[in-house]
Amino acid sequence: MSAVVVIGGGIAGYCAALGARREGADVTVLARAPGATALYGGSMEVVEDLDAVLMSEPHHPFTRLRLDSVRLATELDAAIPALLLALNKDGLKVEGSWKSRGLYADLHGLARPANLVPATVAAGELKGLVGRRVAVVGVREVGDYDAESVAQALKELHNVDASAEEVSIAELPVGAALTDLYGRRAPAVTKSRAALVAYPPGFSHLPDGGFELLATPPSPHGWRLQQAIGLGTVRAAVDGLQVEGGRVVAVRAGDKTYRADAFVLATGHYIGGGLRKDRGSTTTEPLAGLGVFHDGKPASEVGARLARIDYLGPAEEFRTGLATDERLRPLDESGQAPYENLFAAGAVLGGYDYAGACGFGVPILTGWLAGRFAARTER
Ligand SMILES: Cc1cc2nc3c(=O)[nH]c(=O)nc-3n(C[C@H](O)[C@H](O)[C@H](O)COP(=O)(O)OP(=O)(O)OC[C@H]3O[C@@H](n4cnc5c(N)ncnc54)[C@H](O)[C@@H]3O)c2cc1C
């Protein structure tokens, strides 16, 4: 049995562990803290149009795998059900498919697309709400959420027959925050005869016909996901690699050393800590000194231009990150993979908008594949 160490406790690290275990490896996941995964709002985007990505995005992590759309589809067909099954076992039911996308309302009544959503959100798919009466629950004591304006947005923007219904939770102080609802039993809605009830996110034990709206950070959906995927992780901040002859043989975390046959770097973007940018400097990868790329070029070469592009549209920098070969081994600045048994996955990769249409798709698929490649690495 091969031993694999995964660095990173977000969705990419979780999927890497699943992939490596599927190949029979003994897996250890090391994580310093929650990353971007814990901030997601409840709508997981996997991919919008796989063929379009392969045709028009040459640096996208999917394109870099050098697989055609049929093979990629086959891998997604394996990875997504494996993820949903594992999350279910770890206490979080998530529904959906990478092949179809729905629209779900957030806390402002605005629609956001998703391929996968928690089961507690699924009944709120906007097309399914049309023609049904929906009560939007407001909590009198909560000051940072307005059920009336959500109901109005549902009506005006999405043609849903929605109205607000206020409840009171006596033990909450006036001016309480949405976060104070987290984990409380959902209050019953008694006055209206609505078929469905939209709750602000965070309540537990929703009644039949109840669903949660999507969140903004801090997000109960993100926190629940992080709790589920964090069950099997070891709390450790990796601070260095031990390398022998082109192979990583161990990683160090404080005074501890973790040896393995292969390693997966799933350390996230800036929020996770997988990439670092100090004021005025270019972006670096702090653990292994790997190459960081933007639009296929080393970020150090495009630094000044990138700073100007950033000023015009900050999302552009979301595309900065590691580049990999077709087996997900990260490259150095010269375009070579310096370590034969180091693989990379998730938001640490560049070439795509990590807050966009593949926000979860890249971590899920590259995580799953990196774990499988790592487990199959020759010792
Ligand atoms: C605010 C926000 C909202 C988002 N909302 C959505 C959304 O609604 N839908 C969507 O599809 N996508 C969304 N995204 C994108 C999506 O959440 C991320 O792309 C995805 O969660 C990244 O997962 P990851 O596992 O690659 O990284 P992360 O979740 O960031 O995980 C990185 C992990 O690596 C660990 N780590 C880093 N360095 C070390 C080290 N040296 N030692 C040990 N551990 C280390 C971190 O502690 C962390 O556990 C959002 C992103 C952000 C920032």
pLDDT (tens digit per residue) in 110-151: 999 999 999 999 999 999 999 999 999 999 999 999 999 999
Burial class (CB in 10 A: 0-12, 13-18, 19+), 278: exposed
- 29 pLDDT exceeds 80? yes
What's the average model confidence in pLDDT over 237-257? 97
Q: Cα–Cα distance between 16 and 35 in angstroms, integer?
A: 16
Mean pLDDT of the chain: 94
Residue 313, pLDDT score: 66
pLDDT tier for residue 278 given thresholds of 50, 70 and 90: confident
What's the average model confidence in pLDDT over 343-357? 96
* Ligand 1 centroid – CA 176 distance (Å): 28
Mutate to test the pocket of ligand 1, among 6, 29, 40 (most ligand atoms within 8 A of CB): 40
Which residues have C-beta within 8 Å of that of residue 330, sequence separation ≥ 6?
265, 285, 288, 290, 291, 322, 323, 324, 337, 342, 343, 344
- In percent, the amount of the chain with pLDDT more than 70 equals 96
* Ligand 1 centroid – CA 143 distance (Å): 29
Mutate to test the pocket of ligand 1, among 317, 354, 358, 368 (most ligand atoms within 8 A of CB): 354
Distant-in-sequence contacts of 332-338, Cβ < 8 A, 24+ apart: 332/289, 332/290, 332/291, 333/291, 333/298, 333/300, 334/291, 335/291, 338/246, 338/288, 338/290
The residue extents of the domains of the chain are: 3-90+230-375, 97-216
Superfamily for domain range 3-90+230-375: FAD/NAD(P)-binding domain (3.50.50.60)
Residue 379, pLDDT score: 77
pLDDT tier for residue 272 given thresholds of 50, 70 and 90: very high
Residue 304, pLDDT score: 64
- Atom 12, ligand 1: residue with shortest CA distance: 359
Q: Decide if 265 contacts 8 (C-beta within 8 A).
A: yes
Specify the ligand 1 atom closest to the Cα of 347: 26
pLDDT tier for residue 281 given thresholds of 50, 70 and 90: confident
What's the average model confidence in pLDDT over 91-98? 98
* Ligand 1 centroid – CA 175 distance (Å): 31
Residue 308, pLDDT score: 64
CA distances from 211 to 125, 183, 311 (A): 10, 15, 39
Residue 300, pLDDT score: 83
pLDDT tier for residue 194 given thresholds of 50, 70 and 90: confident
What's the average model confidence in pLDDT over 212-235? 96
Residue 200, pLDDT score: 97
* Ligand 1 centroid – CA 293 distance (Å): 19
* DSSP-derived pairing of the beta strands 247-253 and 256-259: antiparallel
Q: Decide if 242 contacts 335 (C-beta within 8 A).
A: no
Specify the ligand 1 atom closest to the Cα of 8: 34
DSSP string, 230-295: TTTEEE----EEEEETTEEEEEEETTEEEE-SEEEE---STTTTSSB--TTSPPB-TTT----EET
Q: Cα–Cα distance between 45 and 357 in angstroms, integer?
A: 5
| DSSP secondary structure letter of residue 123 | T
| Residues 32-86: tens digit of each pLDDT | 999 999 999 999 999 999 999 999 999 999 999 999 999 999 999 999 999 999 9
- In percent, the amount of the chain with pLDDT more than 90 equals 88
- Comparing 217 with 126, which gets the higher pLDDT? 126
What's the average model confidence in pLDDT over 308-321? 74
Q: Give the 3-state secondary structure of 179-201.
A: HHHCCCECCCCCCCCCCEEEECC
Mutate to test the pocket of ligand 1, among 6, 28, 32 (most ligand atoms within 8 A of CB): 32
Which residues have C-beta within 8 Å of that of residue 85, sequence separation ≥ 6?
none
Residue 279, pLDDT score: 72
Residue 351, pLDDT score: 96
- 220 pLDDT exceeds 70? yes
pTM score of the predicted model? 0.96
- Comparing 281 with 324, which gets the higher pLDDT? 324
Pocket of ligand 1 (CB under 6 A): 7-13, 30-37, 39-41, 43-45, 217, 237-238, 266-268, 271-274, 287, 346-347, 354-355, 359-360, 363
- Atom 19, ligand 1: residue with shortest CA distance: 359
Specify the ligand 1 atom closest to the Cα of 34: 49
What's the average model confidence in pLDDT over 357-369? 98
Mutate to test the pocket of ligand 1, among 15, 39, 317 (most ligand atoms within 8 A of CB): 39
Sheet holding 256-259, edge to edge: 240-244, 247-253, 256-259
Of 191-200, 208-217, 235-244, 302-311, the least confident:
302-311
Q: Cα–Cα distance between 323 and 293 in angstroms, integer?
A: 6
